[in-house]
């Protein structure tokens, strides 16, 4: 019964998507700056991306472009306080940035290419989820940031499901529906994610 419900929900979502007009998008490429990747992945949860998250990511990319690897970023944090680097005082997110940076360093993940390969192994995802504050959405988002195909179901994508009249009981369920929909539409997962994200963010502006 559950699989039947998911199948019907996926078909309903595909039909709803086909009724909409979305802006064209360009494929995302990694930052090739692990500090920016880590900061983006941690700050994005629950914050406005355009006005809060991206300006802090851009600061790292423009002011510290030479600090590209995980090791570089850890060294940079010893030179400039992390609070100053990201202009952020909330200790919870600051600690999560530190924890994720050291986790990657200890697992020999120094760039986005290595991160993309590492994230393709299920057992590694279980290890990553042990970090406080790193849940399934953050993991999917890290896949996207590293260049892998993924859909990170956030409030905008949950809102789109609601508009389509589709009720979901968990992140996993919503993720399955979106991933299957992308497959049926013959669309890259990132493309579907971004088109719906832009559509919803503009409709709520």
Residues 179, 186, 48, 140: is their CA dihedral positive or negative?
A: positive
Please tell me whether residues 136 and 190 are part of one structural domain: no
Residue that terminates a domain, selected from 123, 145, 167: 145
Mean pLDDT of 171-186: 97
Please tell me whether residues 161 and 140 are part of one structural domain: no
Q: What is the pLDDT of residue 2?
A: 59
Please tell me whether residues 155 and 96 are part of one structural domain: no
- Number of H helices and E strands in the chain, helices first, is 12, 0
Evaluate if residue 1 carries a pLDDT over 60.
Answer: no
Domain that holds residue 102: 34-145
Evaluate if residue 81 carries a pLDDT over 90.
Answer: yes
Q: What would you measure as the largest C-alpha separation in the chain, in angstroms?
A: 57
Kindly list the distances between the CA atom of residue 46 and the CA atoms of 79, 118, 154, in Å, as whole numbers in the listed order: 29, 26, 9
Evaluate if residue 89 carries a pLDDT over 50.
Answer: yes
Q: What is the pLDDT of residue 98?
A: 98
Please tell me whether residues 104 and 168 are part of one structural domain: no
Number of domains in the chain: 2
Mean pLDDT of 127-144: 96
Residue that terminates a domain, selected from 145, 161, 176: 145
Evaluate if residue 40 carries a pLDDT over 70.
Answer: yes
Evaluate if residue 205 carries a pLDDT over 70.
Answer: no
């Amino acid at each position: 019964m559950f699989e039947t419900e998911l199948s019907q929900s996926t078909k309903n979502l595909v039909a709803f998507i086909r009724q909409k007009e979305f802006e064209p998008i360009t494929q995302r490429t990694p930052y090739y700056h692990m500090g920016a990747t880590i900061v983006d992945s941690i700050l994005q949860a629950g914050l406005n991306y355009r006005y809060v998250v991206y300006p802090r990511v851009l600061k790292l990319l423009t002011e510290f472009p030479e600090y590209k690897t995980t090791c570089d970023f850890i060294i940079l944090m010893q030179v400039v306080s992390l609070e100053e680097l990201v202009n952020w005082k909330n200790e919870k997110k600051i600690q999560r940035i530190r924890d994720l940076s050291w986790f990657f360093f200890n697992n020999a993940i120094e760039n986005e290419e290595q991160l993309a390969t590492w994230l393709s192994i299920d057992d590694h995802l279980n290890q990553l989820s042990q970090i406080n504050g790193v849940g399934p959405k953050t993991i999917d988002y890290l896949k996207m940031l590293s260049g892998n195909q993924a859909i990170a179901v956030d409030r905008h994508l949950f809102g789109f499901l609601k508009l389509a009249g589709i009720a979901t009981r968990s992140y996993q369920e919503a993720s399955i529906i979106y991933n299957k929909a992308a497959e049926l539409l013959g669309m890259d997962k990132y493309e579907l994610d971004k088109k719906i994200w832009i559509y919803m963010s503009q409709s709520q502006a």
